[in-house]
Amino acid sequence: MKKVNSKSFLYRYRFIVAYFLLGATLIGLLFGLPLLTPAGLSADEMESAVHSYDLHFNSIYDGDIINLPYRALQKASIMLFGLNLYSIKLPSMIIGVLLGVLLILLLNRWFKNNVAIFASILAVLSSSFLYLAGSGTPLIMLVFWPTLLLWLGSKIQGVTKPKPFYCFVFAIMLLLSIFTPHLIYLAIFIVLFALVHPHLRFTIKTLPTFPLITTILIILAGLGALCMNAISKPEVITDLLLAKDFSLTQFIDNLQVAFLPFFSWNAPLESTFLSPFIGLASITLAIIGLLSTTKGFFASRNSIASCLIIFTIILSGLNPDSSILILLPMSILIAHGLRYVVNKWYDLFPENPYARISAAFPIGLFLGIMIYGGITHFIYGYRYIPMVANEFNNDLQLIYANLPENGILLVPETSVEADFYRILEDSTSYKILTKTTDLAASQVNYATLGHWEDAPGEVKRIITSPKSDNSDRIYMYTVKQPNQELVKEENKE
């Protein structure tokens, strides 16, 4: 049988070219997300910006350590670029690029190039990944830390002599991850999994004594620092464990809230998660991958995906937001499913290279339909599906576009907007008020966020938005002075 020409440039470097194109597409999509969709901010994003802006140098000593790495990056972004859509979402976009690279590296390390590149495309160009990387909240850290730890673990496990450097980095990253809410359970899970799993237990035994002891000391030092913070601020432990008012009924309700947007076509609950969060084709590939791993279940890369799914379900019962972690095991299982499909095709034509290569066309067409459908569902879903579109607003863009310099804006005192727009007051010349009584008698023009019954003056303009049930978002007022007509008459005389 005639062999395929292996001397051509595209054939020899096909995987390098594919990874380069995938990386360029990923970066372009992520940094263009604020212009695509949801093109607005959710209440969680506004709250995250407020929480990050309140960060200060003594936060660690004061016990304010929840999501500290992300909040520090978000505050730096707001301080550097001002309060806008990009500065709020920029930390997630940067971490999203790193997460995408880590997923690609992890899949490339566990699977052959032909399977890894297809699985990487489905993982980092999916609508769920794009939403995660475009949300200006620490939600992305729930997937980033486990992916980073899995990749570092793959650099340690499976080699004859693990490098001490990766052991140190793994210990430090494991330590930093426990400051993300409920990931302390993941750290416990990783330690127990490593002690129970025979392959991983053998790897630990083969580690050099010095890096092993140093790794343990680093983890113990971090736990000691966490305990010291818990003494000064006991609510830190509650926030990290996320087990408030735990009951079996609440656990079941949390599971329903967590996974309903993932697998339903038209979720009845209002949520920032677009339904279905995971496409039917992806779920099918994941099921095929799960079934294909039953023979070699005790291999670490086979069992870890199944264990992560069980772990995610348990965490979601404590906090519905933890369900986002399922993206990691789903990506691994999709890779297993693709490997099974490709291997079965190759088994049909063991000696015919042309028949084997011909599989690239139907697989490529199938992946193309999945990716295109996912991206269009992401873009148009966040614009036109009421359950998710109403969770976002573009008030900040409307303010910048319509309020003049030194403009005055009234916002509700008890809402999240009050604290959020005080950041705007610090970074611009706008003045933010929360009561109509705060308006000076000489003030002629001002605006209100939403309609205020007791707002004095005459409405001159109403600025609307297509992203809200209450489309009348900003009211522009003009206040007539009591002696304004008298002044005009005097000027005429």
Does residue 488 carry a pLDDT above 60? Answer: no
pLDDT in tens, 191-237: 777 777 676 677 677 767 776 777 777 777 777 767 776 676 666 67
Contact between 139 and 321 (Cβ < 8 Å): yes
Question: Which value, to the nearest 10 degrees, does the dihedral of the CA atoms of residues 382, 386, 390, 394 take?
Answer: 50
Least confident span in 188-197, 224-233, 245-254, 284-293: 224-233
Buried b (16+ CB within 10 A) or exposed e, 39-75: bbbbebbbebbbbbbebeeeeeeebbbbbbbbbebbb
| Stronger pLDDT, 277 or 207, i.e. the higher one | 277
Segment 286-301 shows an average pLDDT of: 73
Cα(210)–Cα(194) distance, integer angstroms: 19
Residue found by looking up tokens 């051509």 in the block: 8
| pLDDT of res. 249 | 80
| pLDDT of res. 407 | 85
Q: Nearest Cα to 445, choosing from 473, 409, 416, 489?
A: 409
Contact between 466 and 397 (Cβ < 8 Å): no
| pLDDT of res. 94 | 92
488: left (phi over 0), alpha (psi -120 to 50) or beta: alpha
**Amino acid identity, position 492:** K
Cα(164)–Cα(212) distance, integer angstroms: 8
| pLDDT of res. 140 | 92
Of the spans 33-47, 255-269, 394-408, 476-490, which averages the highest pLDDT? 394-408
The SS3 of residue 203 is helix
| pLDDT of res. 473 | 86
Q: At residue 119, what are phi and psi to the nearest 5 degrees?
A: -65, -35
Q: Indicate the pLDDT class of residue 299, thresholds 50, 70 and 90.
A: low
Contact between 444 and 479 (Cβ < 8 Å): yes
Q: For residue 392, list its beta bridge partners.
A: 42
The SS3 of residue 287 is helix
pLDDT cut 70: percent of the chain above it: 82
Q: Indicate the pLDDT class of residue 7, thresholds 50, 70 and 90.
A: low
Segment 328-354 shows an average pLDDT of: 82
| pLDDT of res. 357 | 72
Query: DSSP letter string over 298-336?
Result: TSHHHHHHHHHHHHHHHHHHH-GGGGGGGHHHHHHHHHH
Instruction: Spell out the domain ranges in the chain.
Output: 9-246+349-389, 394-492
Least confident span in 104-108, 244-248, 343-347: 244-248
SS3 of the chain: helix, strand, coil, percent, to 5:
65, 5, 30
pLDDT in tens, 150-165: 888 888 776 666 677 7
Q: Output the average pLDDT for the chain.
A: 79
Of the spans 96-100, 310-314, 455-459, which averages the highest pLDDT? 96-100
For Cα atoms 84, 85, 88, give the angle at the middle one, nearest 5 degrees: 85
Q: How big is the chain, counted in residues? A: 493
Q: Indicate the pLDDT class of residue 91, thresholds 50, 70 and 90.
A: very high
Contact between 143 and 126 (Cβ < 8 Å): no
Beta-carbon contacts of 286 under 8 Å, excluding residues fewer than 6 positions away, are: 330, 333, 334, 337
Cα(144)–Cα(70) distance, integer angstroms: 11
For Cα atoms 469, 43, 475, give the angle at the middle one, nearest 5 degrees: 50
Model confidence, pTM: 0.85
Residue found by looking up tokens 């980092």 in the block: 124
pLDDT cut 90: percent of the chain above it: 8
Contact between 67 and 138 (Cβ < 8 Å): yes
The SS3 of residue 230 is helix
Q: Indicate the pLDDT class of residue 487, thresholds 50, 70 and 90.
A: very low
Determine the number of helices (DSSP H) and then strands (DSSP E) in the chain: 24, 7
Contact between 395 and 49 (Cβ < 8 Å): no
Sign of CA pseudo-dihedral 146, 147, 152, 153 = positive
Does residue 63 carry a pLDDT above 80? Answer: no
β pairing state of 408-410 and 41-42: unpaired
Segment 188-193 shows an average pLDDT of: 78
